[in-house]
Amino acid sequence: MLALELDIHYATRVLLDLLATPSPTGFTDKALNKVEAYLLELGVASYRTPKGALVWTLPGKKTEARAVISHIDTLGAMVKEIKEKGRLRLSRVGGYDWASIEGASCVLHTFEGKEITATVLNTKQSTHIFGPELAKLERTDQTIELRLDAEVKTCYEVSALGVEVGNFVSFDSQPTLTETGFIKGRHLDNKASVAISLLVTKAMVEANMQPSHDTHFFVSNYEEVGHGAAAGIPEGATELLCLDMAAVGEGQTSDECCVTLCVKDSSGPYDYQMNQELRTLAKRNGISLKSDIYPYYGSDASAAWRAGGSYRAALIGPGVDASHAYERTHQKAINATARLLMAYLSSD
């Protein structure tokens, strides 16, 4: 069995860096460039698929290939309309509740590459003016708007800044590592898993270790809209291990300090035999592995299956509290997920 030390400080540094790099679905280039740069540091070559996903391969002893999938794209928004008084209506990118972005600091990215900071507010955002009306306000695309940090009072002044319908808006992650080992921030889903993929790649490369199978790491860029890994998984792969966050909440077994096996989500059950093998690997390596079911959840493995892929597929990931809002996980969960992934890579 593997006894490699995993460098949690490296994973944390990479994760905080990725969190600080905006990558809403459809606008993921900068974050993927960072992942490429981290791979270059390790001397690992990678390529982009035509759809823009990033792939790198660790050659194994057996050529029957596996793919380890994570996604770099996150929730975000696009400018839908420039309102008369200079505020902006948003169109959501990915699935989230409007209330979860209220008060979020953001950046608007113009087509010319200019970045304008902004804040998400509602249309009655002042207790002193709206009193009880504010509490009753339903949060929708009509009542949530963007306020640019620019002296603008009209739609013409906003247009003059270069702002147009279709500009991306990224929500600041506000990443933080606490003294108690928690990592807080928006978009831990699923940058935590990208950091885990890099951490395990680093450990294998530096220890000069080969996985038991050819292993393709696949970082998808359209997961949050449901079709990330629907295309581009390297030919010959027969098994997918999807890494994505485990949602923590009432009635769930998922835990911020643990790795979870998702046995079923909105897309149905994952591969039973593969789940059993992962449970065995966890037991043998002294990793506490939770099993959980998510009622409103899909993964890149679901996308690959729906696209007609014939794979065995399973889903593991670190516990993340307050998913699709201001999220939190613990370094222990990152470490546990990475250890299970390491054990999987060296298993038959």
**Omega of the bond leading into 190 within 30 degrees of 0 (cis):** yes
Assigned token pair, 8: 């949690």
Taking the least distance from each CB to Zn ion, the nearer of 118 and 315 is: 315
- The residue written with tokens 């470490």 in the block is 335
Which of 125, 190, 323, 335 is close enough to bind Zn ion by CB under 5 A? 190
Q: Which stretch binds Zn ion (CB under 5 A): 84-92, 188-196, 203-211, 286-294?
A: 188-196
Q: How far is the CB of 189 from Zn ion (least distance, A)?
A: 4
Q: Which is nearer to Zn ion, 146 or 219 (CB)?
A: 219
DSSP-derived secondary structure for 178-238: -TTSEEEETTHHHHHHHHHHHHHHHHHHHTTPPPSEEEEEEEES-GGGT-GGGS-PPTTEE
Residue closest to Zn ion (Cβ): 190
Question: Which region, judged by CB under 5 A, interacts with Zn ion, from 181-189, 213-221, 248-256, 285-293?
Answer: 181-189
Q: Are 68 and 217 in contact (CB under 8 A)?
A: yes
Cβ burial 298-337 (10 Å sphere, 16+ → b, else e): bbbbbbbbeeebebbbbbbbbbbbbbbebbbbbbbbbbbb
- Residue 90, Ramachandran bin (φ over 0: left; ψ between -120 and 50: alpha; else beta): beta
Please, which residues bridge with residue 86 across strands?
none
Question: Would you please indicate which residues are annotated as catalytic (active-site) residues?
Answer: 223
Residues 234-263 that bind Zn ion (CB under 5 A): 244
Report the relative pairing of strands 312-321 and 259-265 from DSSP bridges.
antiparallel
Nearer to Zn ion, 125 or 254 (CB): 254
Q: Is 189 in the site for Zn ion (CB under 5 A)?
A: yes
Task: Please check whether residue 186 is in contact with residue 74, taking contact to mean a CB–CB distance below 8 angstroms.
Answer: yes
Query: Which is it for the CA torsion 253, 75, 221, 335, positive or negative?
Result: negative
Query: Does residue 300 interact with Zn ion by CB under 5 A?
Result: no
Kindly tell me which of 190 and 201 has the beta carbon lying closer to Zn ion.
190
Write down the least CB distance from residue 270 to Zn ion, Å: 15
Count of residues that interact with Zn ion, criterion CB under 5 A: 3
Nearer residue to Zn ion within complex by CB, 189 or 256: 189
Q: How far is the CB of 190 from Zn ion (least distance, A)?
A: 4
Q: Is there binding between residue 73 and Zn ion (CB under 5 A)?
A: no
**Residues shown for the chain:** 348
Residue 258: CB minimum distance to Zn ion, A = 17
Give phi and psi for 35, each to the nearest 5.
Answer: -60, -40
C-beta of residue 201 within 8 angstroms of C-beta of residue 217: yes
106 has which bridge partners? 118, 171
Q: Which is nearer to Zn ion, 100 or 190 (CB)?
A: 190
Q: How far is CA 214 from the centre of its chain?
A: 24
Closer to Zn ion by CB, 70 or 122: give it: 70
Give one DSSP letter per residue of 122-173, joined into a string.
ETT--HHHHTHHHHH---STTTEEEEESS---SHHHHHHTT--TT-EEEE--
Chain residues in the site for Zn ion (CB under 5 A): 189-190, 244
